[in-house]
């Protein structure tokens, strides 16, 4: 785009970009947190990038996570209850189709939404998973480990991750939903550290039996991760929660022991590997013993366990599991004779966006190696939208896995190839339901995304979700139909917080658009008049474009909503003040200038709101009679409407627009909101 008259340089954007939106588990429909916390923000940013750098240069990637113990357990329970009689793949496909329908309902414009075990992407993902693991092994970063796995002796079977539940052993974590080796708050730990484990199959305490699996040597990348997090801290556009969370794992291995176990510790202290004892801080119930490395800490755990001493471990870098023993999963390659393994769902979900990029490029007829133009080229960027609970996997494990690969390792041999580049993590805080964290597995059940559409329009919800400011802190979603008392529901004076941003659409933005169209129909024969835009309007537009562009570069979507609220209200007031002055004594030239300016303001507002409320914005464009690809593009000087018009229209000084019906709404209220 050309430099604005204010001569202020705008941010530099990549030539190509990938936007990812995580992978919902294939065991349930999407609740409002999936949509509000990840998919709508990612979609708004992807849509902006398409307008900013060209739709052909953007891949918006997601898909159903088809594997993992939550899916196995959900399927088992339904079959056991007689509520489902198909295969596990059919179970996942059913949920996948429901998820896809919901995403379509919310106008989430994905380039691909298949699944790690579904569609064309299934075969691509299997191939990439094999290559990824083989290269990690060839590069010397995998370790074969015999670890203990939960075994239900009564049921006669090993338990998958969600078939055993206890309390998280990580110091400071309060989760009562600790599974085999991770809790519902994203903490990882050794299975044998889980507190008070119970089998969900029989309710008995499971045994621990050894199994062999492959582990990625994550502790070996401690130095790299420290340098990596230092770079993130120095980047003002990286959300503070990202380096803060990563740094929590870049500390020496620590064991926490209750103060009342001090005498027992003293008796075995000489048997422990070399360690540093730290006395408890004032008011703390535990003292700490710190070790030089994870091997020393694990040796200490064995000593403490034999002595019957209760302890908890702290966050640190631990070997990252790559394979498991669950039958339903991506098949792991046979390495060093270790057969019959599947890939643990977390590592394969980290490289799944690469698989999906390959799959969609294949489906577009592009060369197989073209995915590297998006993931490896220096003029490309990958933006990964995630929830804060997943920062360990995306912020710690994923960067190390990418660093462990050499240029050309994945389907593109050659030492001159660029390596896979590190991604940009766009991490959001929790979206609460009211003032509580909602979870489909917890006590507070969130509404499904589909259920919300019984009370709100898609565009009301999209605008509200983006305005919440989840990049800053955890925020409550407080829909009146769900959380108000009966008295509050009956009282129209009690406002619905969800409709605040919707009012900007249904009142102010509608008024601006309708006013322009009806004035053109009444006094300009149904034509949009062309001409020079007033300097004050150009100055306002250029400033808004500059601030908007810089704000999008920081992915501060709640600020985008604030910018647009102010701008749309300014534009509407400009129209109102101008046409009032015309009616009080202006001439035809003054009327024409007010409409030239106001249509120009409408054009810019519609472009900038396109990522937020695409359907309404595209409806405005349609009635303006411009092609979407031309209208929704930043590749203009933004000096007048002439840029979008033909030479003949410019000569004639007008552009034909569609006739707007009476009392027309570009942005409608939900039927339930009319009383």
Average pLDDT over residues 222-226: 97
Q: Is residue 216 part of a domain?
A: no
Given this model, what pLDDT does residue 440 score?
A: 60
Q: Is the pLDDT of residue 578 over 50?
A: yes
pLDDT (0 to 100) of residue 147: 81
CA distance 664 to 662: 5
Looking at the predicted structure, is the pLDDT value of residue 122 above 70? yes
pLDDT at position 208 is 84
Residue 5's pLDDT band (cuts 50, 70, 90):
very low
| Strand boundaries in 466-523, DSSP class E | 475-477
- Least-confidence region, from 152-161, 313-322, 402-411, 583-592: 152-161
Residue 299 lies in a domain: no
Domain interval for residue 550: 498-673
Number of domains in the chain: 2
CA separation for the pair 554, 239 (Å, rounded):
9
Give 446: exposed, middle or buried? Use CB within 10 Å, 0-12, 13-18, 19+.
Answer: buried
Q: What is the pLDDT of residue 446?
A: 78
pLDDT of residue 185: 75
Whether 660 and 544 share a structural domain:
yes
DSSP, residue by residue, 259-273: GGGHHHHHHHGGGSP
319 vs 436, residue with greater confidence:
319
pLDDT band at 498 (very low <50, low <70, confident <90, very high): very high
* 377 in any annotated domain: yes
Considering 449, 464, 488, which residue would you say is the last residue of a domain?
449
Residues whose CB is less than 8 angstroms from the CB of residue 333 and which lie 6 or more positions away in sequence, other chains included: 130, 133, 134
Where residue 439 falls among pLDDT bands split at 50, 70, 90?
low
505 and 642 housed in the same domain: yes
Q: Are residues 578 and 440 in the same domain?
A: no
Percent of residues, the chain, with pLDDT higher than 70: 96
pLDDT of amino acid 264: 96
Whole-angstrom CA distances from 110 to 17, 98, 100, 487, 498 are: 13, 15, 10, 41, 25
Give dist(CA 30, CA 365) in Å, integer.
31
pTM: 0.92
Helix axes 557-583, 588-609, angle to 10 degrees: 170
**What CATH number is given to the structural domain containing 135?**
3.40.50.620
In a domain, 482, yes or no: no
186 pLDDT tier (thresholds 50, 70, 90): low
Which tens digit of pLDDT belongs to each residue from 586-631? 899 999 999 999 999 999 999 999 999 999 999 999 999 999 999 9
Instruction: Report helix, strand or coil for 300.
Output: helix
Asked if residue 205 is part of any domain, the answer here is no
Q: What is the mean pLDDT of residues 515-529?
A: 97
42 lies in a domain? Answer: yes
Same domain membership, residue 567 and residue 656: yes
Average pLDDT over residues 284-293: 94
Per-residue tokens: 88: 């596990």
73 vs 96, residue with greater confidence: 96
Identify whether residues 575 and 647 lie together within a single domain: yes
Do 443 and 504 share a structural domain?
no
Q: Quickly count: other Cβ atoms within 10 Å of residue 146's Cβ.
A: 9
Nearest CA among 380, 350, 327, 531 for reference residue 53: 380
Least confident interval from 3-17, 43-57, 359-373: 3-17
pLDDT of amino acid 207: 87
Write down the pLDDT at residue 3. Answer: 37
Does residue 484 form part of some domain? Answer: no
CATH of the domain at 664: 1.10.730.10
pLDDT attached to residue 25 = 93
Q: What integer pLDDT is reported at residue 555 of this predicted model?
A: 97
Strands 424-428 and 380-387: parallel
Q: Which helix (H) or strand (E) holds 568?
A: helix 557-583
Q: Please give the average per-residue pLDDT across 419-424, as a whole number.
A: 94
Does one domain contain both 632 and 524?
A: yes
- Of 416, 449, 482, the one marking the end of a domain is 449
Same-domain pairing of 438 and 507 = no
* Percent of the chain that is helix, strand, coil (3-state, to 5): 45, 15, 35
The confidence score (pLDDT) of residue 417 equals 63
Would residue 282 count as lying in a domain?
A: no
Reported as a single tens digit per residue, the pLDDT across 620-663 is 999 999 999 999 999 999 999 999 999 999 999 999 999 999 99
Q: Say how far apart CA 121 and CA 93 lie, in whole Å.
A: 13
**Average pLDDT for residues 233-257, to the nearest whole number?**
95
Mean pLDDT estimate for the chain: 92
pLDDT at 552: 97
Q: What is the pLDDT of residue 412?
A: 59
The string of pLDDT tens digits covering residues 11-69 is: 999 999 999 999 999 999 998 999 999 999 999 999 999 999 999 999 999 999 999 88
Q: Whole-angstrom Cα distance, residue 347 to residue 132?
A: 10
Using the predicted structure, report yes or no on whether residue 369 has a pLDDT greater than 90.
no
**Would you call 412 exposed, middle or buried from its count of C-beta atoms within 10 A (0-12, 13-18, 19+)?**
middle
Name the nearest CA neighbour of 18 among 404, 522, 354: 354
What pLDDT does residue 310 have? Answer: 86
| Claim to verify: residue 526 and residue 647 sit in the same structural domain | yes
Contact between 231 and 242 under an 8 Å Cβ cutoff? The reply is no
**Same structural domain for residues 443 and 524?**
no
SS3 58: strand
> For residues 157 and 318, what is the distance between their CA atoms, to the nearest angstrom?
27
Q: What is the pLDDT of residue 10?
A: 78
205: left (phi over 0), alpha (psi -120 to 50) or beta: beta
> Looking at the structure, do residues 517 and 657 belong to the same domain, yes or no?
yes
Q: Which of 424, 449, 474 is the last residue of a domain?
A: 449
């Amino acid at each position: 785009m050309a430099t604005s008259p204010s001569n202020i340089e705008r941010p530099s954007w990549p030539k190509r970009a990938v936007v990812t939106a995580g992978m919902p588990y294939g065991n349930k429909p999407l609740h409002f947190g999936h949509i509000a916390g990840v998919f709508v923000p990612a979609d708004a940013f992807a849509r902006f990038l398409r307008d900013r750098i060209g739709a052909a240069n953007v891949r918006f990637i997601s898909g159903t996570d088809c594997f993992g113990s939550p899916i196995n357990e959900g399927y088992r329970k339904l079959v056991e209850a007689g509520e489902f009689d198909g295969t596990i793949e059919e179970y996942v496909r059913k949920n996948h189709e429901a998820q896809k329908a919901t995403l379509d309902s919310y106008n989430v414009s994905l380039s691909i939404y298949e699944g790690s075990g579904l569609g064309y992407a299934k075969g691509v993902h299997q191939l990439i998973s094999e290559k990824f693991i083989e290269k990690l092994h060839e590069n010397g970063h995998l370790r074969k480990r015999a670890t203990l796995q939960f075994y239900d002796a009564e049921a006669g079977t090993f338990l998958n991750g969600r078939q055993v539940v206890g309390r998280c052993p990580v110091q400071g974590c309060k989760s009562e939903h600790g599974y085999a080796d991770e809790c519902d708050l994203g903490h990882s730990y050794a299975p044998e550290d889980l507190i008070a484990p119970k089998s969900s199959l029989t309710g008995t305490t499971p045994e621990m039996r050894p199994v062999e699996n492959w582990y990625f040597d994550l502790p070996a990348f401690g130095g790299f991760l420290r340098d990596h997090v230092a770079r993130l801290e120095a980047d003002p556009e990286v959300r503070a929660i990202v380096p803060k969370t990563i740094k929590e794992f870049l500390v020496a291995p620590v064991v926490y022991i209750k103060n009342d176990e001090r005498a027992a510790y003293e008796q075995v202290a000489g048997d422990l590997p070399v360690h540093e004892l730290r006395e408890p801080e004032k008011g703390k119930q535990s003292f700490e013993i710190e070790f030089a490395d994870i091997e020393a800490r694990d040796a200490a755990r064995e000593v403490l366990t034999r002595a019957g001493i209760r302890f908890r471990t702290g966050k640190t870098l631990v070997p990252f599991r790559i394979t498991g023993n669950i039958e339903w999963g991506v098949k792991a390659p046979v390495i060093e004779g270790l057969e019959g393994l599947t890939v643990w769902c977390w590592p394969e979900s980290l490289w799944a966006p690469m698989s999906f990029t390959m799959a969609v490029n294949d489906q577009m007829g592009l060369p197989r190696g073209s995915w590297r133009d998006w993931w490896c080229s220096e003029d490309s960027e990958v933006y990964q939208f995630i929830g804060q609970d997943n920062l360990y996997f995306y912020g710690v494990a994923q960067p190390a896995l990418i660093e462990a690969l050499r240029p050309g390792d994945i389907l593109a041999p050659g030492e001159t190839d660029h390596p896979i580049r590190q991604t940009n993590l766009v991490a959001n805080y929790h979206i609460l339901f009211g003032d509580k964290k909602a979870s489909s597995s917890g006590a507070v059940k969130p509404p499904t995304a589909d259920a919300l559409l019984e009370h709100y329009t898609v565009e009301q919800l999209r605008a509200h979700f983006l305005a919440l400011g989840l990049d800053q802190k955890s925020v409550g979603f407080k829909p009146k139909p769900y959380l108000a008392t009966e008295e509050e529901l009956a009282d129209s004076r009690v406002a619905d917080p969800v409709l605040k941003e919707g009012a900007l659409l249904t009142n102010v933005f509608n008024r601006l658009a309708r006013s322009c169209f009806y004035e053109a129909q009444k006094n300009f024969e149904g034509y949009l008049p062309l001409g020079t835009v007033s300097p004050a309007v150009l100055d306002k537009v250029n400033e808004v474009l500059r601030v908007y562009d810089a704000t999008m570069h920081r992915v501060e979507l709640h600020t985008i909503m604030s910018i647009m609220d102010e701008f749309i209200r300014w534009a509407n007031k400009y129209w109102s003040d101008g046409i009032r002055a015309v009616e009080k004594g202006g001439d035809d030239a003054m009327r024409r200038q007010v409409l030239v300016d106001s249509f120009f303001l409408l054009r810019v507002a519609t472009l900038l709101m396109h990522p937020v409320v695409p359907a309404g914005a595209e409806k405005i464009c349609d009635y303006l009679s411009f092609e979407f690809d031309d209208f929704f593009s930043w590749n203009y000087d933004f000096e007048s409407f002439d840029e979008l018009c033909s030479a003949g229209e410019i000569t004639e000084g007008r552009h034909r627009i569609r006739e707007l019906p009476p009392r027309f709404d570009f942005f409608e209220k939900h039927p339930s909101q009319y009383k």
